[in-house]
Amino acid sequence: MQDGPDHSPPEVMVEVVATPQRLASGMAVIRAFWETLPGSPGVYRMLNGAGEVLYVGKARNLKARVSSYARGDAPNNRIARMIAETAAMEFVTTTTETDALLLEINLIKQLKPRYNVLMRDDKSFPFILITGDHAAPQILKHRGARNRKGSYFGPFASGLAVTNTLNALQRAFLLRTCVDSYYENRSRPCLLFQIKRCSAPCTGEISLEDYALLVREAKAFLSGKSGTIRDKLAAEMLAAAERLDFEAAARYRDRISGLSSVQASQDINPAGVEEADVFAIHAEAGQFCIEVFFFRTGQNWGNRAFFPRADKAHETADVLDAFVAQFYDERPAPRLILLSEEIENRELLTQALSERMDYRVEIAVPKRGEKRDMVAHALTNAREALGRRLSESASQARLLEGVAQAFGLATPPRRIDVFDNSHIMGTNAVGAMIVSGSRGFSKTHYRTFNIQSTEITPGDDYGMMREVMRRRFSRLLKDAPRDEVPDDPDALPQWPDLVLIDGGKGQLDAVRGVLAELGIEGVPLVGVAKGPDRDAGRESFFLPDKPPFKLPPRDPTLYFIQRLRDEAHRFAIGTHRARRKRDITRNPLDEIAGIGPARKRALLLHFGTAKAVSRASQSDLEKVNGINATTAKIVYDFFHEKQS
């Protein structure tokens, strides 16, 4: 479950060698700023000659902290290079060291300095929400700001963990998952009622009072009272069986089974820890992995591995320190945080999180007992996750070397962009771009292009490809200079080192023409044409000004390119189907200006369907509750004009 976010790569920075002369120059710059510094808390930024921020740090005493740099104290090569590159410094004083810590975290996430530890994955975690703004509350997955009224339970480590839990909770508590507009327009129960996944309060199959009892039970279960709920359901099942109501007993049995499936998916459920996040760090081959486990209501709600960007000279405790601070910048903290190592800012971070959460947050490094076992389990997972990543990186590197050899590239590509189109007889046409690099597929860089040109003949693949490539590379020219290269070896460049096009010579020529129009040269292009009868393994490859060729049938590079092409095809097809589905299900009432949800609901309840509304006379429209003469005329004119 390592899905990374879309971070723009930092500006190119030429690595400075910390020669004695450059080190002395940087020390002189820092000393000049140090002489006028106050002894108060604050945040400092170190900048290079181009004005780019190299490092952001915080201090209880700015003058004392910066003095170590002014003296040239460099315990490792990383610090020495940082001092040598420094051409200017900026400072912000704060009232307390806690304020300095919070400001430092914000600046690091905003500026992404080269010499700081960067978390690299700032995706929000999913929660389960039981809404509180409807008579029949809905249960759903929720990400982002918690603005909607209701009860939130989480965080969960991944969307899949939430989906699995929701499926089991539907079986156990029969709560609705449909949106309010769907609920309001039901006249008979949907399929979920038939398969015993919903109690159908929408059509009165259960009273709102009985449904409210199911909601309370679900909240109690998610709040850690699973044993109480299980015992209650077991007692009701036995009571139903004793009165020979075997149908009711079977329903209770199915609900108990649903609860069991939730708990069975949680491999660790600590008896003595109600709520905690567990962090464990492992380092190997100059890389770091931090495994995070989430425990809420005495249950394990999943784990996720993170791979922060950090110089290999960093100590693991320093990386963990910086990571935990950034992790809780925009996330709620639990009452207990367990770490695998002691960190320098533990007390300061404890104070900052406690003040922000309005309850006491404890950060501990357990030495024995159950909590130590939890940390040890997280550490094992961190070690295994980093081992898998290193192994996958080595395999990916070999495949990229094979691609370079196959297509005559000077070096293995750091970024491969793959393009494909999808449509049915020219309708709902979309272009898709997927991206792959040294870490495999980078889904946060995937892009879709709705074909907009009215001059393209429906089904014209060449025309669609020209539009997609013109939009893609015009944007690149505007946003990213060609010579910009990320200094982080794991980061993707913004410009591709290789472009794969799903198609043969025609598609390749179309793309070459677009790049020539834009004045772009030096971007390697390869067309991948499907084999006879579209057989995988018999693809032909087209390169500019070269005869087509094939790769050996069992060549690993061929399999790799097939994976790239198939992923682009999957992504394009999925996007096309989603767009087609939206068009099919679109309600014409949504297009009428001035018709909001309430009036739309009134019209549908009165006439039954949008088609019946379109056939209604203006006088019939005026008879609908909430529809006055002016609105009736707007609705009538809308359909009358469309039909004329």
CATH number at 87 reads: 3.40.1440.10
With the C-alpha atoms ordered 96, 98, 102, 108, is the resulting torsion angle positive or negative? positive
Same domain, 280 and 329: yes
Q: Which domain holds residue 482?
A: 413-576
Q: Determine, yes or no, domain membership for 1.
A: no
Answer whether 291's CB lies under 8 Å from 277's CB: no
**Is pLDDT above 60 for 265?**
no
| Within-domain flag for 120 | no
172 shares its domain with 107: no
Residue 566 in domain: yes
Residues 158 and 250 reside in one and the same domain: yes
Mean pLDDT value across residues 596-620: 80
Residue 11, in any domain of the structure: no
Domain end call among 372, 387, 402? 387
The confidence score (pLDDT) of residue 460 equals: 78
Which amino acid, residue 491? Answer: A
Three-class DSSP category at 117: coil
408 is a domain residue: no
The Cα 506–Cα 580 span in angstroms is: 27
Burial code (b: 16+ CB inside 10 Å, e: under 16) for 409-422 equals beebbbbbbbbbbb
Averaged pLDDT, 16-29? 83
Q: Do 570 and 597 have their domain in common?
A: no
**Is position 5 within any domain?**
no
Q: Could you tell me which residue, 6 or 490, shows the higher pLDDT?
A: 490
Q: Would you state the pLDDT for residue 1?
A: 35
Helix (H) or strand (E) holding 462: helix 461-479
Residue 67 lies in a domain: yes
**pLDDT surpassing 50 at residue 282:** yes
The whole-number pLDDT of residue 403 equals 92
Same domain, 215 and 325: no
Domain boundary among 80, 111, 142: 111
CATH number at residue 633: 1.10.150.20
Peptide bond between residue 75 and the one before it cis (omega within 30 degrees of 0): no
Instruction: Write down the pLDDT at residue 2.
Output: 38
**Domain check: are 257 and 361 in the same one?**
no
Spell out a b/e string for 522-549, using b for 16 or more CB atoms within 10 Å of the CB, else e: ebbbbbbbeeeeeeeeebbbbbeeeeee
Q: Is the pLDDT of residue 454 over 60?
A: yes
pLDDT above 90 for 137: yes
Please spell the DSSP secondary structure of 13-42, one letter per residue.
-PPPP--HHHHHHHHHHHHHHHTT--SS-E
* CATH number, domain containing residue 528: 3.30.420.340
At 398-453, the pLDDT tens digits run 999 999 999 999 999 999 999 988 866 556 678 889 999 888 888 889 988 887 77
What is residue 229's predicted lDDT score, i.e. its pLDDT?
A: 65
- Provide the pLDDT for residue 5: 38
Residue 291, beta-bridge partner list: 280, 305
pLDDT in tens, 541-571: 999 989 989 888 778 888 889 889 889 888 8
Where would I find the H helices in 223-277? 226-242, 246-264
Residue 576 is predicted with a pLDDT of: 74
Q: What is the pLDDT of residue 9?
A: 38
pLDDT at 389: 86
Q: Which residues have a Cβ under 8 Å from the Cβ of 135 and sit 6 or more positions away?
A: 208
CB 291 within 8 A of CB 279: yes
Q: Which of 163-167, 331-335, 462-466 has the lowest mean pLDDT?
A: 163-167
Mean pLDDT of the chain: 83
- Tell me, what CATH number does 291's domain have? 3.30.420
269 domain residue, yes or no: no
Reported as a single tens digit per residue, the pLDDT across 506-532 is 889 999 999 999 999 889 999 998 765
Nearest-5° Cα angle at 533, 529 to 534: 40
Same domain, 420 and 564: yes
Residue 237, C-beta contacts closer than 8 angstroms, at least 6 positions apart: 249, 252, 253, 256
User: Predicted confidence band at 377 (pLDDT cuts at 50, 70, 90)?
Assistant: very high
Give the pLDDT score at 517.
92
Distances (CA, A) of 538 to 461, 541, 551, 554: 22, 10, 8, 11
Nearest alpha-carbon partner for 279 in 210, 337, 221? 337
Mean pLDDT, range 125-153, rounded to an integer: 88
| Joined tokens for residue 561 | 């390119």
* Distance in angstroms (rounded) separating the CA atoms of residues 5 and 118: 12
Residue 107 confidence (pLDDT): 92
Question: What percentage of the chain carries pLDDT values higher than 70?
Answer: 86
pLDDT per residue as tens digits for the range 154-211? 788 777 778 877 887 887 788 999 988 888 888 888 888 888 889 899 998 989 998 9
Same domain, 96 and 137: no
Q: Are residues 553 and 595 in the same domain?
A: no
Query: Which of 1-15, 171-185, 282-296 shows the lowest per-residue confidence on average (mean pLDDT)?
Result: 1-15
Q: For position 8, what pLDDT does the model report?
A: 38
pLDDT of residue 13: 40
Q: How far is residue 129's CA from residue 166's CA, in Å, rounded to a whole number?
A: 10
Residue 14 has pLDDT above 80, yes or no: no
How crowded is residue 595: how many other Cβ atoms within 10 Å of its Cβ?
A: 21
Q: What is the pLDDT of residue 271?
A: 63
Q: State the total domains in the chain.
A: 5
Which helix (H) or strand (E) segment holds residue 391: the answer is helix 369-407
Position 629 scores a pLDDT of 87
Considering the domain architecture, whether residues 312 and 351 belong to the same structural domain is answered as yes
Judge if 172 and 211 occupy the same domain.
Answer: yes
- The reported pLDDT for the residue numbered 577 is 78
Residues 310 and 238 reside in one and the same domain:
no
Last residue of a domain, one of 387, 421, 438: 387
